[in-house]
Structure 1
């Protein structure tokens, strides 16, 4: 057994090897097609939206200098924005769609930037 923490928190227990001679139990059913992508699979671009700004789920319309992030989360591509150099990200309203191929990330991000970046108004 290897300790990775000095103390345990609420409802945490030490884990050890099962040492079951017949091996570990298997899955009861197939999980199907699960999109496996690295957690850092995202693209970001600084944008300036047009006069209407960008509508977000959390705070409504955001305007001014923003950063747009396009990321794959689970089986979806998700758009979010933040005020440039801020910490908080906001989900773009309607900015979520199923994706079956992680390679589509670049194309989706390019389209999103093309639609939302309107520095001239």
Structure 2
């Protein structure tokens, strides 16, 4: 899996398949199907974004922004996010 690059941001990516109901985004509402999740850290804030797999546009996951005081926690936040959102069995 490739690393997404955002100016000034550190990020992790993973391919996910959300369960029924998909993932709510700020820009387009619910997205479903094969997605890529990006957990990014910029200016002390961690933000989750998703895109349709291999698409160009990223969407902010609704309610998925929080302060992260220690950048070393990015891997743990990403692992938890994947665990919560990746539900291929429903």
TM-score, normalisation: structure 1: 0.67
- Give CA deviations for 1:18-47 in whole Å, capped at 9, x if unaligned: xxxxxxxxxxxxxxxxxxxx8241000000
Number of residue pairs the alignment of both structures matches? 84
Q: Which residue of 1 aligns with 2:26?
A: 57
Q: Does 1:85 align with 2:51?
A: no
CA-atom RMSD, angstroms? 1.1
Helix, strand or coil at the partner of 2:73: helix
CA distance in 2, matches of 1:118, 1:39: 31
Q: Is the 8 A contact 2:9 2:42 kept in 1?
A: no
Q: Which has the higher contact order (CA 8 A, sep 6+)?
A: 2
Structure with the bigger percentage of strand: 2
Structure with the bigger percentage of helix: 2
CA distance in 2, matches of 1:42, 1:54: 19
TM-score, normalisation: structure 2: 0.90
CA distance in 2, matches of 1:101, 1:39: 16
Gaps of 5+ in 2: 1-6
Shift of 1:62: 0.1
Shift of 1:105: 0.2
